[in-house]
Structure 1
């Protein structure tokens, strides 16, 4: 039986590594059909997957569907997960493919919108009573100025806390490229903030 208790640590990196090890253990246990392990696996990584697809797709309404699609894909191919990487990196790479497939589906299905002022309709649909709402809007605007590759590398490493190696696995590019993208993203954001 796998325990969900994690050792207490002051170092955020070791805390994340411990959480990754625990999620990977849950994934490996879930491979054998342990329903409790599946539940723990999903709970452990749902928030990270949701945050990641939210930043990639920039559509809050589609994010939950994409996160669900990610977990459906992952659970369907869990029997092939061998634990060579962390379950988190493996799952985020599946999430990335789910978002890309979502873009492809949307591209072949153009949608018409009847509202003459769609930007105003979008602004009215957003909740403003949430603490940190304005900061989140500013952050989204700042991240929106970055190229897709730099934004993805920045979000994976700086916001989701993945190591550069894990971000490289998720992005499908060399570690040096991830480092370069993050450095350039930081420099671009600093120019905008200062």
Structure 2
């Protein structure tokens, strides 16, 4: 399970500055900088596409697709936004394209009960597995806007200002969405812990 605790603002700003510098150096043809750029932001992209797609099975493919797209269009990157913000916007498009393709593709399974087979294929003994499932379930209850604001600020670690720029809405709206997402998830957790809910 990947940690969902965001880094401090200072360390995140330093990491963003480094990643942006590596992206600009990679744009100039430095292969070592390209490798550092990918390594620095791989975890953020993987977390983001996992939550956006809701499909951990294809998250690594979507992450590779995101970096392939980014490296292919690096010559157009000018550093106006941080490399992470730029990369996450590419990841968002990659997931959207994947979901559009999946919606029109026929689903084929070699078993009648493919959902149970998929659940059994997951490694339930991993530390934090139950917590990860619970987080996925809670996130699924949120509206798309609140889920995205929560993920970008609390999971990926963007500031409210960066998230506002990324999503194209005011900072106050981002703060409101995150606050409401937290309140909704806390309420659901409290309800799940009541004796009546446990008995059910």
Match of 1:25?
21
TM (normalized to structure 1)? Answer: 0.89
> 1 CA distance for matches of 2:173 and 2:82?
20
Matched, 1:108 2:104: yes
Structure with the larger RCO, 1 or 2 (CA within 8 Å, 6+ apart): 2
Could you list the runs of 5+ residues in structure 2 that have no partner in the other structure?
Answer: 1-6, 191-200
Matched, 1:124 2:134: no
Secondary structure of residue in 2 paired with 1:46 = helix
Match of 2:10?
14
Secondary structure of residue in 2 paired with 1:121 = helix
> 2 CA distance for matches of 1:150 and 1:114?
37
Could you list the runs of 5+ residues in structure 1 that have no partner in the other structure?
Answer: 1-10
Match of 2:193?
none
Match of 2:188?
192
Matched, 1:137 2:129: no
> 2 CA distance for matches of 1:106 and 1:123?
20
Q: How many residues align?
A: 184
Displacement after TM superposition at 1:177 (Å) = 2.7
Match of 1:76?
72
> 2 CA distance for matches of 1:110 and 1:116?
15
Displacement after TM superposition at 1:193 (Å) = 1.4
Moved more, 125-134 or 27-36: 125-134
TM (normalized to structure 2)? Answer: 0.87
| 1:56-95 aligned within 5 A | 56-95=52-91
